[in-house]
Amino acid sequence: MNDAALALSTFAYGPQTLAAALGAPLVLMLACASARLRRFGPAYLVVAPLFALAACVLASDSGPLVLDQMIYPIVLVLDPPGALLLGVTSLLWLAAGIFAASSMRDETESGAFVAFWLATLVGNIGVFMAADVASFYLFFALVSLPAYGLIVAQARMADSAGGLYVSVALLGEAFLILAFALLASATPDHSLLISDGVDALPASPWRDATIGLLIAGFGTKIGLLPLHVWMPSTYRAAPVAAAAVLSGGAVNAGVIGLVRFFPWGHAVPVWGEALVVLGMSAAFYGVAIGLTQRNPKTMLAYSSISQMGLVAATLGAGLVAGNKGAAAGAALYAAHHGLAKGGLFLAVGVLSGCGTLRMRRLTPFVGLLALSLAGLPFSGGVIAKLAIKQPLGDGLLGALSTLSAIATTLLMLHFLRRVAALAEPRVSNPGWALITPMFAMIAASIMAPTAYYFAIENHRLVSLDAALFWESLWPILVGALIAAAARRWLERLPALPEGDVGAFAARPFGLFARGGAAADRGEIILRRWPVAAGALMVVAIMISGMGVLKP
Amino acid sequence: MTLSFGFDLSLAVLTLAVAGYAIGARESFASVVAFISYGVLLALVWVRLSAVDVALTEAAIGSGVTGALLIGAAAKVGEGAVDAPRSVRGAGRLLTALFCIATTLGIATAFLSLPEKAPTLAPLAAEHLPSTGLGNPVTAVLLSYRAIDTLLESVVLVFAVVGVWTFASDRDWGGRPESPGKDRPEQPLTFLGQILPPLGILVGVHLVWTGATEPGGAFQGGTVLAAAWILVMAAGLRKPPSIEGAWLRFALIGGPALFLGVGVAGFALAKAFLAYPEGHSKAFILVIEAALTFSIAIALGLLALGAPGRKGHP
Amino acid sequence: MNAVTLAGLAGAALIGMGLFGLVTHSHILRKIVAFNVIGSGVFLLFGAVARRGAASGLNADPVPQALVITGIVVAFSATALAVALLLRYFKEVGSPFLADDPGAGASQPDHERP
Amino acid sequence: MIASTLSQLSMRAEDALLPVAIALPVGAMLLALCLGGRWTERIAVAFMPIGVSIAGAVAYVVWRDQRPLVYFIGGWAPPLGVAIRADGVAAAMLLTSALIASAAGLFACDVFRVKPGEKENRAHLGFWTLLLAIWAALNCVFVGWDLFSIYVGLEMLTFAAVPLVCLKGQKETFVAAMRYLLFALLGSVLYLLGATLVYAAYGSLDIGILAQKIQPEAAAWIALGAMTAGLLAKTALFPLHIWLPPAHAGAAPPASAILSALVVKGSFFVVVRLWLTLAPVQMSEAPAELLAILGSVAIFAGSVLALRQERLKLMIAYSTVAQIGYLFLMFPLAIGQHPWASAAWSGGALQAISHAFAKAAMFLSAGLIVDVVGHDRLSGLRGLGRLAPQPVLIFALAGMSLMGLPPSGGFNAKWLLMSASVQSGHWALALVMAVGGLLTAAYLYRVIAPALAPAENAPAESASTPTPKASSRGAALSLALALAAILLGFAPPELASLLAVGAPAATIERIE
């Protein structure tokens, strides 16, 4: 197995495979412009991610693909964390693509949806491959902005959700372009390679500003406190398949960003500690707010905030200690989260259309997926927890990590109860085209992290280790006990507004509107002839005066 | 203070005073009349500055045709409503005045700070004058050294004519501009219209011809011709032309087009754009000037007539 | 102080006076007159410059003189354009005064289809 | 004597390119006016490929030789004669204006037509002759190397642009044109005043000669102050934008595209010449900061006002006010011999070019949208994406470039300017660009979001009256412009090396 992987990894056509992985969805997206080709749109959703899936095997650690016929040459390469995240992400896109293709009804409206889907896919694939700042920014923008079209595709009430999403995404873009400009300016020859920028970062005069902007920029993507406000309404408003790829795939663009751009090996205590505090707060805050929610999709969103908080805390701990292992651990954790969370969203889609009987049969499998997030023994979750154990250490952070597993169990069990409440005695059950992708994700979330762990770390069957088995089981048991005990109480929790603090942040917009009215009045004055002509003279006098009146 | 400086000083004061009246007059009609007299005074100032070419142009175009244009507009537009908005009052007016004084002082400072020995292109212009075959250095600048400016300027006139026409109403397109005179011109005007144009044509041709050696040239000559044409129309002897007329269009663009054509021919004949074959400069320049004069006369006349109107009316 | 300096200073004064008229008057024809006064002030200044440049037996530098002739013609074209536009403006608006902008949106045409 | 001057000229065919670039559009305009009727349009359309080829040839020659193309008109060398010159940026602007004028012109074939049975009409003759006139004027300004020739070019530009505003013949357009004309004329006369003072002090109008001679002294300062103020009035840099929004919003779409994309760039280009080529560094430093401050204010004020508009075309016009501000951010970054100066120079040029393409595409797509929905109220655009997907796509693509999102020319420009501002320590400018991008996104969102949203009662509207389809040729042309703005993001390194030809910074740094 290992030898085969090794042989494949030096596959001679690696760079070309990378090009195919990006090119396929791009070409299919352009095909959507033609009315004749648009009819096959649903099929594109299934075909497009296949090339990326192939690439993560064939092109891993192969040579780079360099396209230097542009002002900014594009350099694409697939390193191990990139390949891991690309693999799970393209798997998720494939499953969600099948789900979306099967649930697509309206032919006329599907064209735009497919185009937005494929554009987001291009960004999501590219972001794991980009080795230079310019193309990374391009792919990051692609994975962020076209998703707007996915979010507003379905719900009429989605307007505000889409607006919030795109505002935060653009804010992230603004943070990132500043960070990247700083990063590139600090390299001796203004190289645009990410590796050059990161190498020069510790000695950069703008080190702290750069890292702060990076955290803020990628924080918008992973929903770092307090930039998480967009997540709940976005995932709730988006169609199930879109929510699956956004929560499981697009969010990893933020993770890979932090992994790629942090100067691993150099301790940056201040920002590292800030990240740890924000991340750990989010880990519990997400659960706390999530428990009060009614909508299962919103609950999953809050679970994402909590899980990404753990990822951020892991990366922060690594940054404090200058620990390179944190990046790999966080990537593995995020990979598992992506599979599980994507699967859970698909599950919501499946279960919400189920009759009572079918629901009863399917719920245990969904429960497996849900508890995998908390680190259920034999699931991929154990591997994920194991991966962040070392960077977090045995101290306070380790304890908090265990505590968060209890909290996650609580939230997930509550989630299952809420989902079960959706069941109605109905005749029509979802077809196998919808159920299969969900099962595929369940299988993948259990097997993929384990397989990867063995391939990379060459470990024996860790999950059979008795100590580890117990260590991962007891938090789940505790969580389950609490859930059972506090069941009534949980049901009666008041529903907090979706988006929590974000709901209160709308107030400044009123102020802005008032400022806008003042701007209107000012404009009317400025555009009066005497004022404008006077301003013209003032400009002339000012420029002339700069020299004439100089002492 | 010498006598001549005394004259210059009083001329300057008078010019400024008339200009001030043109700016400050209560009624727009008075302001326009003041502006015309200001133009005449200014022409005198130009003569005092040894710029007879400019003085001719200023008198003909700056004061004459512009004045006619403005008088016509003032007659049509009038003073507007009684409660006319006075856009700047009180403090704003004071502030504007301060800015304007600052501007004037700034320009005066710049002018007074100029080097004692003025930089000049006069020696260069004089040195190359023989090779152009011309006697008047101003004409040499206009039609040889900086011919591109003159070419583009004659084109600017055409642009302006198109611009003026597009301010017409859609339904008036293809019509004729309003006649500058009354419907039934008075006897003396008709008489003038019969007598003066031939004289004007003579003067105009003379100005172009002498422009090569003496002050004068296409613009001055063209203005005189234009004035003669307008007078003919004002006297009711000729109708203003229809703007769709093929001959009118041709006459309008003929001068600039010929100038441009000669310029392009310069690539072949003289190895440069807007250069003339060696030894034949004067002949070429005279031909261009003749064509330009005619087209300028047409363009100035059309600009003075304004946008077309009254389609289908006599 | 000589005639040339006098002409230059008069030019500067004319520019200031014209600017004042251009800013304070709201009657468009008065603005056009003021614009012409500024223009002639600039030309006069240029004429003074030309006269300063007398050399090589020429009474003045011919280059600025030629440029002034070009400038006068351009200024006339501008005036003709402005007057033609004024006449149409007067026909449409019914007033010879430059409207103070009634807000950005208010005056915009509605492109409703009939 | 003339012979000696002539012999210095090497006789190469490409030397003739620059004078031809001025002579041909002038000649075409004269011919179009003379023949009139349907011939006006035919001549203009026939001229388009020729004009584009000439501009392309100029750009190619400048790029190939890696030095500016210079021509002495009539063989007379400055200071007595007039030189015209195209450096990399001028060549790029020539090509940009040729392409956009052609695209907007072809778009206008459907807008300005001679109806059957009609010989010619006002808007038809006006548009086509004025299009050629603007083309000629822009070429004069871009290759102008003599302050007075540039003055004549700028006047040609104004005289052609003002009538273009009111071809539709509505009352509001005449009001807008009146304000535009008066303010532009004030700008012209201030520019001429400056040129006069420059000649008075240095005895030349040639930019190259003046760059050697000019000193930081009273005459030069006052001259440059007057010229700059005049040019800013014509460029409509905030707060001198009095005329722009109603004029650009009121004109017909192809006219708006030309006015917003190209005409304001002409006078901007001359400001660049004045402060980055003509004035010495010790003079430019302080005014450059002032220009950047005005530019920053323009970005904020223009964007906020764009956010406040209720009409699509007015919003786009205010977006131009904001985007003009971006152009002025380059000044403090591009002066001097600093390593970042050439990046800022290329960034500024790229900003001008990509804004031209994007804004032209945006005005044309607005025209298509108005054709489909019959109005341009922002409140009535809900569900437009289903009704007319093409114009929305074009609008969004153009918007990407305006926002500076990759891949687009706007992004490349923003990246170059931002790197330059970080390296030169102009932090505030980097922040202005970042926040400006967000504000741009905010006002564009007001169009794109309702367009993508499902229509509230679309069936009722679309069923009752068959909505006229946006013309497919118009859509293709505006899509081509929008794609050009996007594809500038994939521009080859050759573009950077073209823009660097003749850049004022001596050490030309290759852009990675």
Confidence of residue D143 (pLDDT cuts 50, 70, 90): very high
Q: What distance in Å separates the CA atoms of residue B241 and residue B243, rounded to the nearest whole number?
A: 6
Cβ distance B53 to C67 under 8 Å? no
Q: What distance in Å separates the CA atoms of residue A128 and residue A89, rounded to the nearest whole number?
A: 10
Interface check for A212 against chain D (CB to CB < 8 A): the answer is: no
Picking from A530, A537, A538, the nearest residue to B88 by CB comes out as A530
Assess whether pLDDT exceeds 90 at residue C20. yes
- Among A147-156, A294-303, A406-415, B131-140, where is mean pLDDT lowest? A147-156
Domain co-membership, A349 together with A466: yes
Average pLDDT over residues D305-332: 92
At residue B91's C-alpha, the angle toward residues B90 and B96, to 5°, is 105
Domain co-membership, A373 together with A522: no
C38: distance to nearest CA of chain B, Å? 10
Task: Answer yes or no: do B148 and D73 touch at CB < 8 A.
Answer: yes
Assess whether pLDDT exceeds 50 at residue D134. yes
Residue of B nearest to D27 (CA): B257
D201: Cα within 13 Å, side-chain hemisphere:
28
Q: What distance in Å separates the CA atoms of residue D195 and residue D203, rounded to the nearest whole number?
A: 11
Contacts of B158 (CB under 8 A, 6+ apart): B252, B253, B256, B299, D29, D30, D33
Task: Answer yes or no: do B119 and C53 touch at CB < 8 A.
Answer: yes
Average pLDDT over residues A460-486: 76
Task: Tell which wins on pLDDT, A410 or A514.
Answer: A410
Residue of B nearest to A528 (CA): B87
Q: What distance in Å separates the CA atoms of residue D307 and residue D444, rounded to the nearest whole number?
A: 8
Angle between helices B281-305 and B187-211 in degrees, nearest 10: 150
Confidence of residue C107 (pLDDT cuts 50, 70, 90): very low
Interface check for A523 against chain C (CB to CB < 8 A): the answer is: yes
A551: distance to nearest CA of chain B, Å? 16
Q: Which helix (H) or strand (E) holds D486?
A: helix D472-487
Pair of tokens at residue B269: 């004949």
DSSP string, B246-279: HHHHHHHHHHHHHHHHHHHHHHHHTSSTT---TT
Most confident among A79-93, A324-338, B173-187, D217-231 (mean pLDDT)? D217-231
Interface check for D218 against chain A (CB to CB < 8 A): the answer is: yes
User: What per-residue confidence (pLDDT) applies to B314?
Assistant: 39
User: What per-residue confidence (pLDDT) applies to A459?
Assistant: 55
Percentage, residues of chain A above pLDDT 90: 12
Most confident among A281-285, B240-244, C55-59 (mean pLDDT)? A281-285
Percentage, residues of chain A above pLDDT 70: 89
Cβ distance D390 to D480 under 8 Å? no
Average pLDDT over residues A138-161: 79
Q: What distance in Å separates the CA atoms of residue D131 and residue A78, rounded to the nearest whole number?
A: 52
Cβ distance A260 to A131 under 8 Å? no
Using a CB-CB distance cutoff of 8 angstroms, which residues of chain C are in contact with residue B6? none
Pair of tokens at residue B253: 């663009």
User: What per-residue confidence (pLDDT) applies to B155?
Assistant: 93
User: What per-residue confidence (pLDDT) applies to A12?
Assistant: 55
Distance from CA of residue A201 to its chain's centroid? 25
Interface check for B245 against chain A (CB to CB < 8 A): the answer is: no
| Residue recorded with tokens 């979001």 | D449
pLDDT (tens digit, 9 = 90+) per residue, D298-309?
Answer: 999 999 899 888
Average pLDDT over residues D268-281: 91
**Residue D377 CB: number of other CB atoms within 10 A?**
17
Domain co-membership, A519 together with A429: no
Residue of D nearest to A519 (CA): D305
A524: distance to nearest CA of chain C, Å? 5
Assess whether pLDDT exceeds 90 at residue C83. yes
Pair of tokens at residue A126: 């590219």
Confidence of residue A508 (pLDDT cuts 50, 70, 90): low
Report the mean per-residue pLDDT for chain A. Answer: 82
- Chosen for mutation from C15, C19, C107 (greatest number of chain A CBs closer than 10 Å) is C19
Interface check for B162 against chain D (CB to CB < 8 A): the answer is: yes
Pair of tokens at residue B133: 């075959």
Interface check for D290 against chain A (CB to CB < 8 A): the answer is: yes
- DSSP for residue D488: G
Q: What distance in Å separates the CA atoms of residue A124 and residue B62, rounded to the nearest whole number?
A: 69
Task: Answer yes or no: do B96 and A541 touch at CB < 8 A.
Answer: no
Average pLDDT over residues A184-213: 86
- Among B212-221, D199-208, D329-338, where is mean pLDDT lowest? B212-221
User: What per-residue confidence (pLDDT) applies to A215?
Assistant: 92
Pairing type for strands B308-309 and D69-72 reads: unpaired
Asked if CATH classification 1.10.287.3510 holds for the domain at C3-93, the reply, yes or no, is yes
Q: In terms of Cα–Cα distance, which of A495, A348, A345 is closest to A418?
A: A348
Contacts of B203 (CB under 8 A, 6+ apart): B221, B224
What is the domain extent for residue A481? 2-505
User: What per-residue confidence (pLDDT) applies to A108?
Assistant: 54
In B, residues 176-215, which contact D (CB 8 Å cutoff)?
Answer: none
Interface check for A189 against chain D (CB to CB < 8 A): the answer is: yes
- Among A253-262, A376-385, B54-63, B278-287, where is mean pLDDT lowest? A376-385
Assess whether pLDDT exceeds 90 at residue A145. no
Residue B62's alpha-carbon distances to B16, B265, C108, in angstroms, are 16, 34, 37
Q: What distance in Å separates the CA atoms of residue A292 and residue A294, rounded to the nearest whole number?
A: 7
- Chosen for mutation from C15, C42, C100 (greatest number of chain D CBs closer than 10 Å) is C42
